Amino acid sequence: MADVLVVGSYIADLMSRTPHMPKAGETVLGGPFQMGPGGKGGNQAVAAARLGAHVTMVTKVGEDPFGEEAFRNFSREGINTNWITRDPDEATGAALIAVDDEGENMIIVAPGACGKLTAADVAAADEAFTGADVVLVQLETAMEAVEAAVNLAERHGKPLILNPAPFQEVRDDLLAKAAYITPNETEARLLTGIDVQDETTAHLAARKLAERGVGTVIITLGRQGCYVFTDGEGTLVPGVKVNAVDTTGAGDAFNGALAVFLAEGDEVHDACRKANRAAALSVTRPGTSPAMAYREELDSL
């Protein structure tokens, strides 16, 4: 069984549908309202667990009802919670999500407790790094926690996937320690200054990131699929066409699946094909963590 370690955020998702995105000062009647588990780290952990991996989560939540729900959710999904800490002073993180009739979304994240995840919290989970096949990290926590995870993965000789979302500046010495980096078009532009719109511009951005030391660059392109740049060569891995209901969490579905299939030994292009399918399945239903695909669904697509 693949062993995936996720270091990142847990956020309670507070989501409502809207006929259109509100303009400044505008109130829109929407609904229905949904509340559920989320956060990039939490979503990616659930995505990996539902695809059959043994998953360990490292994060921080508050001593509040949202924090209690975090433990219940991870337990339901079979995720190891031994390294999730509680913060007595900070509330569990929350995200305010609006999804319009086209399935597009706008999100405001209040990181709360997971924004206080420290290097010491991550270092305490050293044992989890020892047993991991792949380490998966995002940027929805304090950067010191990200740096600690990157350095521990390097120390233990574990391949690390860096999902640079939401965007923060990342030093070149940290990028050089990542086996894989998985920005979307916006994050690729912020990292490189290149406006990624198609295969040609994706190639330019990916090559620029590779020059900064990343082993393999994977730029996710929504319904187009993803662009993989490795060993000096770039390839577009096409996406899967589906009727999107809610695109929130598609990137998390991709990253969680990518970690699983790389941990299982798949070549990177094959892993990306499967990850594209996982992302496509996730957008056909509302929500983030609850929308993640199970292995049998992926196999039958």
Question: Any known ligand binding at 276?
Answer: yes
Q: What is the dihedral of CA 252, 121, 128, 12, to 10 degrees?
A: -30
31 has pLDDT over 80: yes
Question: Any known ligand binding at 232?
Answer: no
Query: And the tokens for 292?
Result: 């993640």
- Per-residue pLDDT band for 106 (boundaries 50, 70, 90) equals confident
Question: pTM of the entire structure?
Answer: 0.92
Query: And the tokens for 253?
Result: 């579905």
**Quick one: pLDDT at residue 102?**
82
The amino acid sitting at 132 is A
Name every residue whose Cβ is closer than 8 Å to that of residue 75 and which is 6 or more positions away in sequence. Answer: 81
**Quick one: pLDDT at residue 248?**
81
Give residue for tokens 């660059």. 217
Is 101 or 274 the better-scoring residue by pLDDT? 274
The amino acid sitting at 229 is F
- Tell me the average pLDDT across 28-51: 94
210 has pLDDT over 90: yes
**Quick one: pLDDT at residue 103?**
78
pLDDT in tens, 48-103: 999 999 999 999 999 999 999 999 999 999 999 999 999 999 999 998 989 888 87
Residue 21 within a domain: no
Residue 179 within a domain: yes
pLDDT above 90 as % of the chain: 85
Task: Report how far residue 281's alpha carbon sits from residue 183's, in angstroms, rounded to the nearest whole number.
Answer: 20
Question: Any known ligand binding at 40?
Answer: yes
**Quick one: pLDDT at residue 165?**
95
- Per-residue pLDDT band for 246 (boundaries 50, 70, 90) equals confident
Residue 30 within a domain: no
126 has pLDDT over 80: yes
Question: Any known ligand binding at 16?
Answer: no
The chain-wide mean pLDDT, for the chain, equals 95
Question: Any known ligand binding at 266?
Answer: no
Is 244 or 201 the better-scoring residue by pLDDT? 201
- Per-residue pLDDT band for 301 (boundaries 50, 70, 90) equals confident
**Quick one: pLDDT at residue 5?**
98
* Domain at 45, CATH number: 3.40.1190.20
- Tell me the average pLDDT across 138-143: 95
Q: Domains in the chain: how many in total?
A: 1
Residue 125 within a domain: yes
Task: Report how far residue 72's alpha carbon sits from residue 52's, in angstroms, rounded to the nearest whole number.
Answer: 19
Domain that holds residue 69: 3-10+40-91+115-300
pLDDT in tens, 162-205: 999 999 999 999 999 999 999 999 999 999 999 999 999 999 99
Residue 82 within a domain: yes
- Tell me the average pLDDT across 107-126: 94
Residue 106 within a domain: no
Residue 28 within a domain: no
- Tell me the average pLDDT across 14-35: 91
Is residue 97 classed exposed, middle or buried when 0-12, 13-18 and 19+ CB atoms within 10 A define those classes? Answer: buried
Residue 16 within a domain: no
pLDDT above 70 as % of the chain: 100
**Quick one: pLDDT at residue 245?**
85
Q: Which residues are catalytic?
A: 252
